[in-house]
């Protein structure tokens, strides 16, 4: 029989209001009902992210999680609760990973359960540890109700940071990205990331979502934490509104980029019989009216001919896409420069001028495990998901490319845009970011919308404009405050001619990285201790 005894702190709440009764019911849940509700709340939290953009549901999902956490009786229950919440969150938020496998279903069908179940289950370990850590702090420090809420926000943000760094990192769908979609006023809320980055934004978002749950406390401090959440949201929004007003859009004179989005289906992308047709499709779009007025043409990830250094005919063909006096920047496959034998291969970007000369190259340095290389290759006899049996090699790291007649640029190939600390070469600040990608793998799912939202936040953090070009997905020009200047939607076919916005001076995040996030965590711990002291002094210890 399930143990439905509520902790002593909640006894006597039966006659309280509806919020108190709901909290008491959540605390008293046990067994599969408790963990099933946690999973549903986690799935609900995913609806705050693009493309659904229902950011206010975080109040329900994290508020409910806080109520359930008040019913933990030991660390094992706390971990299981956090794991269940995370499993629901990641299953709902990352289902699109399995869609990529359907491009070559005959070869990769057996990976589908891993993508849809094992990956979310593994990522949920981080949320399980977050709940375990906050429960440990609450017990060891005897935190009050508001103190526990602060501790949960701190531990959640800390484990998000670890998720973004351990085992090569996977900082996808951090809670702070709930402000990077289409919810009204979200652009203002994003601006605090210029100070504390995405991890700091996640901490503030989770804290603001959890504090109102204290309205369900049976007695004592109920209104103060909720008011603190309102003040926090108002402060973030006010800072963002001021920053947006202080920096009206300003474009660099004489620099216009043409972003080409052909939306070639992934099933045809690597079909040898379709390569020539695909190239002509790209070239036809590129040469549309206005071609002679742009400074550079951008082709997406892997859209340029491969092995340009070894194939003068391929360079001459690509050079047709370079405007007069300008450049074409295209994703391509690169191998060892001749006369060396072709041993290594890079997912690369090449810059080619009108004469077919390779002006610069950049090699992707943060590769996708199993997508571009197979970890533990010696013991895992499987192929990577992208075509070819040879793993890609990693480039040396972020680079700033100095290009003729263009401001210095930092390229980001696909997945690299999700790593906030790896978008700029240390000591060499560019004037814009360029993200080329191919989201055709994922069809009309949430994946391309999430990828766009994640990329958008890199512009805010760094104070740099970002040009984003995809074969399919969302291509756009984004200014250094995250405002979308122009865009092509998912499945659109066409070109986007956009002036390049002017960069801002380095932001605090650009100067100091995650130092602001660390300060926020310390403030959160101090707040947990301070709230506990105040509530005890007022006779309201939890």
Residues near 236 by beta carbon (within 8 Å), at least 6 away in sequence: 188, 189, 191, 192, 204
Question: Choosing from 150, 160, 364, 416, which is the catalytic residue?
Answer: 364
Radius of gyration of the chain (CA): 25
Give the rounded distance of the alpha carbon of 427 from its chain centre.
24
Which is it for strands 296-299 and 251-261: parallel, antiparallel or unpaired? parallel
Residues near 353 by beta carbon (within 8 Å), at least 6 away in sequence: 319, 322, 326, 327, 359, 404
- Is-catalytic flag, 160? no
49-61 as b/e: b if 16+ CB within 10 A:
bbbbbbbebbbbb
Question: Choosing from 301, 416, 461, 535, which is the catalytic residue?
Answer: 301
- Is-catalytic flag, 301? yes
* Cβ count near 250 (within 10 Å): 13
- Is-catalytic flag, 416? no
Tokens of 442: 């994922």
Residue whose entry in the numeric block shows the structure tokens 């992707």: 364
Question: 58, 47 in Cβ contact below 8 A?
Answer: no
Tokens of 461: 């953090």
Question: Choosing from 414, 416, 461, 535, which is the catalytic residue?
Answer: 414
C-alpha distance from residue 332 to each of 76, 302, 347, 370 (Å): 49, 4, 6, 20
Residues near 482 by beta carbon (within 8 Å), at least 6 away in sequence: 180, 187, 190, 191, 456, 457, 459, 460
C-alpha distance from residue 86 to each of 26, 40, 65, 99, 252 (Å): 18, 10, 11, 21, 44
HEC-encoded secondary structure of 297-333: EEECCCCCCCCHHHCHHHHHHHHCCCCCCCEEEEEEE
Which is it for strands 494-501 and 251-261: parallel, antiparallel or unpaired? antiparallel
C-alpha distance from residue 336 to each of 144, 305, 363, 419, 449 (Å): 61, 16, 12, 27, 35
Question: 477, 452 in Cβ contact below 8 A?
Answer: no
- Is the backbone of residue 364 left (phi > 0), alpha (psi -120 to 50) or beta? beta
Strands (E), 342-465: 345-353, 358-363, 409-413, 432-437
Question: 295, 406 in Cβ contact below 8 A?
Answer: yes
Positions marked active-site: 301, 364, 414
């Amino acid at each position: 029989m399930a143990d439905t005894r509520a902790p002593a702190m909640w006894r006597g709440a039966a006659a309280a209001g509806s919020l108190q009764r709901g909290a008491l019911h959540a605390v008293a849940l046990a067994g599969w009902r408790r963990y099933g509700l946690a999973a549903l709340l986690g799935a609900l939290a995913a609806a705050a992210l693009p493309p659904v953009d229902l950011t206010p549901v975080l109040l329900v999902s994290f508020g409910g999680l806080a109520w359930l956490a008040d019913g933990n009786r030991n660390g094992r229950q706390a971990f299981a609760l956090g794991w269940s919440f995370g499993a629901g969150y990641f299953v709902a938020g990352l289902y699109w990973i399995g869609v990529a496998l359907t491009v070559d279903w005959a070869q990769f069908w057996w990976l589908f359960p891993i993508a849809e179940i094992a990956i979310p289950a593994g990522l949920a370990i981080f949320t399980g540890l977050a709940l375990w850590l906050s429960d440990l702090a609450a017990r060891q420090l005897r935190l009050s109700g508001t103190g526990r809420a602060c501790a949960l926000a701190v531990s959640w943000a800390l484990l998000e940071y670890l998720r973004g760094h351990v085992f090569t990192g996977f900082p996808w769908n951090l809670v702070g990205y709930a402000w990077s979609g289409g919810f009204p006023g979200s652009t203002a809320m994003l601006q605090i990331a210029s100070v504390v980055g995405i991890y700091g934004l996640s901490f503030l978002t989770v804290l603001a979502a959890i504090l109102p749950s204290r309205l369900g406390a049976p007695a004592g401090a109920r209104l103060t934490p909720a008011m603190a959440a309102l003040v926090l949201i108002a402060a973030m929004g006010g800072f963002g509104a001021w920053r947006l007003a202080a920096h009206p859009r300003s474009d660099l004179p004489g620099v216009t980029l043409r972003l080409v989005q052909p939306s070639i289906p992934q099933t045809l992308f690597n079909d040898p019989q379709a390569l020539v047709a695909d190239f002509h499709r790209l070239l036809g779009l590129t040469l549309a009216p206005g071609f002679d007025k742009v400074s550079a043409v951008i082709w997406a990830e892997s859209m340029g001919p491969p092995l340009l250094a070894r194939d003068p005919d391929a360079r001459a063909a690509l050079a047709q896409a370079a405007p007069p006096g300008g450049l074409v920047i295209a994703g391509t496959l690169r191998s060892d420069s001749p006369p060396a034998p072709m041993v290594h291969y890079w997912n690369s970007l090449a810059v080619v001028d009108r004469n077919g000369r390779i002006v610069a190259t950049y090699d992707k340095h943060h590769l996708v495990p199993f997508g571009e290389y197979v970890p533990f290759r010696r013991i895992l006899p499987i192929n990577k998901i992208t075509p070819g049996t040879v793993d890609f090699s990693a480039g040396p790291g972020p680079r700033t490319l100095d290009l003729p007649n263009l401001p210095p640029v930092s390229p980001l190939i696909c997945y690299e845009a999700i790593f906030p600390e790896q978008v700029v070469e240390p000591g060499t600040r560019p004037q814009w970011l360029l993200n080329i990608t191919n989201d055709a793998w994922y069809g009309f799912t949430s994946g391309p919308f999430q990828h766009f939202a994640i990329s958008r936040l890199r512009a805010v953090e760094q104070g740099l404009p970002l040009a984003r070009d995809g074969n399919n997905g969302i291509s756009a020009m984004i200014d250094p405050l995250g405002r979308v200047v122009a865009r092509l939607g998912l499945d659109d076919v066409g070109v986007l001619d956009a002036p390049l916005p002017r960069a801002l001076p380095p932001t605090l995040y650009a100067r100091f990285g995650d130092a602001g996030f660390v300060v926020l965590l310390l403030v959160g711990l101090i707040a947990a201790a301070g709230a506990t002291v105040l509530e005890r002094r007022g006779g309201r210890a939890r």
